[in-house]
Amino acid sequence: MKEFELIKHFFAEQIVKRKDVLLGIGDDCALIQPGERQHIAVTTDTLVAGVHFPLETEPRAIGHKAIAVNLSDLAAMGAEPAWVSLALTLPEADETWLKEFCAGVFELCEYYNVQLIGGDTTQGPLSITVTAQGITPADKYLLRSGAKAGDWLYVTGELGDAALALKHLQGKVKVEEVFTEQVMTKLNYPKPRVLAGQALKEYASSAIDLSDGLISDLQHICQASKVGANLVLDALPLSKVMTDTLDQQQAIELALSGGDDYELLFTVAEDNKVGMETSLAHAGINITCIGQINGSEKITTTLDNKPVSIGSRGFEHFSDKESDKGAEHQSDPQR
């Protein structure tokens, strides 16, 4: 199957047809028309086989995750997802693989009313690059740089299950069979927190999505906002499978540095705390307060109300191999 046949057969037909897409797939560019007093938020992520997902990952999961990780970035800014473009590099035009991959892409796009408006296909080692665009009101969106001393630090959902699934695949830990599907779903089919992001833009002072690990992404907020934070380790939301499979120290370290959670980490001023908690409770979104922002420009951690030091850090795409020698995340194919 030639390139343009492949595009027409697999990607040109989809259920979502947005009114703000004036011209979609089939020309040199797409044309989109946002409304008045709106900003367009744009994000791009690349997934590479053997780096961001294990080589044996099913194609439907790859398609889902390629879209989900981008929608998660939009969620962190409080943006409503609207359009995506897809650059797909394939070793060969395997029609069975493409059918399943597209199913993963379009299922998530349909759920969030997102239209695929263009992209590119080429031959080579398997990689997927998605550019997602969303809409925010011109005067209301979330940044990493808005946290202030005294703000409370929250996270959605539970932490560490996706990283636990990866360790299970690598044979580093053994997850009980009854929990295997649960953690594998967290790894392969993450749910972007779009609804939470929409609610939080009314209350939060800063936000970021958790892709590289809690401690690493918290550092991004602290650096952008020029603040510090105290992180309460025994407040971290851990699933039953995490606490049943690992001891406390292992579970905390994985929650801090594992990555691939795609939950939202955000800060809220004291005055907005009750309103935010009420809004997210009505939306059925579980949140946990895990610490507080301060003016120190350093991250400190406590366990059982006592200061503790941590050696964990999140994933870094281009790290110093010598200084990282022996670091567990260096051997993770999910990265």
CA distances from residue 83 to 5, 241, 270 in whole angstroms, order as listed: 22, 36, 35
Q: Which residues does the annotation place in the binding site for ATP?
A: 119-120, 144, 211
The 3-state DSSP class for residue 196 equals helix
Residue holding tokens 């299922």? 107
**What is the Cα–Cα distance from 27 to 316, expressed in whole angstroms?**
37
What does 141-172 look like in DSSP terms, one character per residue? ---STT--TT-EEEEES--SHHHHHHHHHTTS
**What is the Cα–Cα distance from 181 to 177, expressed in whole angstroms?**
8
Check if the beta carbon of residue 72 is closer than 8 Å to that of residue 65. Answer: no
List the one residue out of 206, 172, 183 whose CA is nearest residue 260: 183
CA distances from residue 281 to 57, 241, 287, 332 in whole angstroms, order as listed: 34, 24, 8, 35
List the one residue out of 194, 243, 199, 232 whose CA is nearest residue 310: 232
CA distances from residue 179 to 166, 174, 185, 270 in whole angstroms, order as listed: 13, 10, 10, 37
Q: Which residues does the annotation place in the binding site for substrate?
A: 52, 260, 315
**What is the Cα–Cα distance from 271 to 156, expressed in whole angstroms?**
20
Residue type, 254: L
Q: Which residues does the annotation place in the binding site?
A: 28, 43-45, 52, 73, 119-120, 144, 209, 211-212, 260, 315
Q: Which residues does the annotation place in the binding site for Mg(2+)?
A: 28, 43-45, 73, 120, 209, 212
Rg (CA), the chain: 20
